Amino acid sequence: MPIPEYTVPAAFQPKVEDYPYALDSALASVVALRAKIPGDAFTAEILGTERAGHGVFIDDGLILTIGYLITEAEEIWLTLHDGRTAPGFVLAFDNETGFGLVQALAKVDVPSLPLGSSADVDLGERVVVGGAGREQSVAARIVAKQEFAGYWEYLLDEALFTAPAHPHWGGTALIGPGGELLGIGSLQLEAARGGNLNMIVPIDLLKPILDDLRKSGRANRPARPWLGFYASEMEERIVIVGVAAGAPASRAGLQPGDIVVAVRGQEVRTLASLWRAIRELGAAGVEVPLTLFRGGDMFDVSVRSGDRASFLKRPRIH
């Protein structure tokens, strides 16, 4: 569902005097983004047919966002900081990093945020998790830089984590101490010691693939093997909690409730170890040998992986 109009509590909003760069100018680069997805899209059941969040201009008419907002979108609308609206077009989505690119389909005079270095930002650094203006932004700090594994076959060797959390995090701009873009907001998570934090996809992951995404809509590298199931860590076991209809895992007979014990004989107990073991087998199309536990029985099954992008609707201009 689209996110509602919202205001971050004043105590969490960034203040101009706390930053050495032009804060309002930097936040003017951030736009509200709404996407409409057809009902028969592969991701419609999980992610919905109406999605909303944010994006940030990184070049003339080019907006960087988090990819799940725009995957399979047939219609994109952007709302600029001054209230103007403009249509957009899905230019690219990268499954491996999670980044998405949108091209504005109207001439807009909006400042762009320069790309910074997420590797160089320090723990404790003062940052802004930016929405469309100060009232929709959070003054935060970097609280962790560490591995992140998602239940949807997603793995980052190092993600950024910020607190306090932004309430509508999808596609927000992580603005560094010099006014540069350090990453894009992806998730809200519960912190181990209580409270919430945001997981941010680091901008350094974009730099090697940006030209490819602009030119061809995807990164020029072999696609990772994708099986099409969702998994969760439960008491040091990996439990399948869902299987995408028509995906390789479904065709191979995997079921919710199955416990993944090993990949090619290598025991796995965390999502990160599971996704990494699958990734190390090769590119999409490779056979993935799994050992499963179901109903008291242990057995082996081989799943021929696929390229997730081949299951998704491709963008088209109307």
Residues carrying CATH 2.30.42.10, the chain: 229-311
Q: Whole-number mean pLDDT of the chain?
A: 94
Tens of pLDDT, residues 31-49: 999 999 999 999 999 999 9
- CATH assignment, 118-205: 2.40.10.10
Residue with tokens 């209809």: 245
How would residue 4 be classed by pLDDT, with cut points 50, 70 and 90?
A: low
Helices (H), the chain: 23-27, 44-47, 210-216, 248-251, 271-279
The least confident of 13-22, 192-201, 230-239, 242-251 is 192-201
Tens of pLDDT, residues 195-228: 899 999 999 999 999 999 999 999 999 999 999 9
Distance CA 111, CA 28 (A): 7
Distance CA 65, CA 51 (A): 12
Specify the 3-state DSSP secondary structure of 22: coil
Whole-angstrom CA distances from 163 to 122, 277, 298 are 14, 31, 42
Q: What is the pLDDT of residue 313?
A: 83
Name the CATH superfamily housing domain 229-311.
PDZ domain (2.30.42.10)
Distance CA 112, CA 99 (A): 17
Tens of pLDDT, residues 185-194: 999 999 877 7
Distance CA 176, CA 129 (A): 9
**DSSP H or E segment with residue 41:** none
The least confident of 17-31, 60-74, 183-197, 281-295 is 183-197
Q: What is the pLDDT of residue 234?
A: 93
Q: What is the pLDDT of residue 2?
A: 46
Name the CATH superfamily housing domain 21-112+208-216.
Trypsin-like serine proteases (2.40.10.10)
Tens of pLDDT, residues 114-161: 999 999 999 999 999 999 999 999 999 999 999 999 999 999 999 999
DSSP state of 173: E
Contacts of 267 (CB under 8 A, 6+ apart): 261
Nearest Cα to Cα of residue 223 among 91, 95, 137: 95
Q: What is the pLDDT of residue 193?
A: 77
Q: What is the pLDDT of residue 195?
A: 87
Residues carrying CATH 2.40.10.10, the chain: 21-112+208-216, 118-205
